[in-house]
Structure 1
Amino acid sequence: MELALTADQRSEGLMYRREMAPDHGMLFDMERVAPAHFWMRNTYISLDIIFIEKNGRVATIAANTEPLSERMIGSGVPVRFVLELVAGTAAKIGLAPGDRVDHPVIAAAQ
């Protein structure tokens, strides 16, 4: 799991990558609780974008995003974290809103 903890890391995210291992992902700590907005500019891999509340609960999931799109993808609710996974992973593992995501970065924010 890669981490995006700084403004620069969050800004670049998974841009410019042509492939990613199925068991890989990137966790973004947005540093504050607020609505989050992502886009797929310069992102060649379709992703599942999981929006996570401060307590680690999945708020919403944007599944199978469109590579290279500049359409804004919003959380719809205030969140603290965002997890990007290879498209289809959320469905494959049965991840759904209300589920809990555990990671030391999320635990540290409690």
Structure 2
Amino acid sequence: MAFPTPFDVKANVHDGLAVVSVVGELDIATASRLSHLLTELAEPGRVVLVDLSDTDFMDSTGIAELAIACKHQRELGGDLILDAPNRAVSKVIEISGLDRVMTVTSGPERPSPSESR
């Protein structure tokens, strides 16, 4: 019997940049936790960077929540950026077309709040 990967989502806000770390599987069972946190972080002009480096899996529910949050944050004059997805998660982002409507970065070169606006 396989046990589900533990899921955790945390945020750290510094100088207007909110970094959200997603650990585990982002799917129908966990996406609402991420959505709730992204809604709490939404504010005018804020840049939200979603660190996917420890995300093992993402399904269409995760894609939808990220797209909705990005749209909302842009309506507020900010942005939502996906950072450091692994190969499997990158493939899901590419197949879904999310990489054509959102910024996807590859890790250590994270934008500062002023660079992202």
Which TM-score band applies after superposition, normalised by the shorter structure?
0.3 to 0.5
Higher helix share: 2
Structure number with the higher strand fraction is 1
> Highest relative contact order (Cα 8 Å, sep 6+), 1 or 2?
1
Q: Which has the larger radius of gyration?
A: 2
Taking structure 1 as the reference length, the TM-score comes to: 0.34
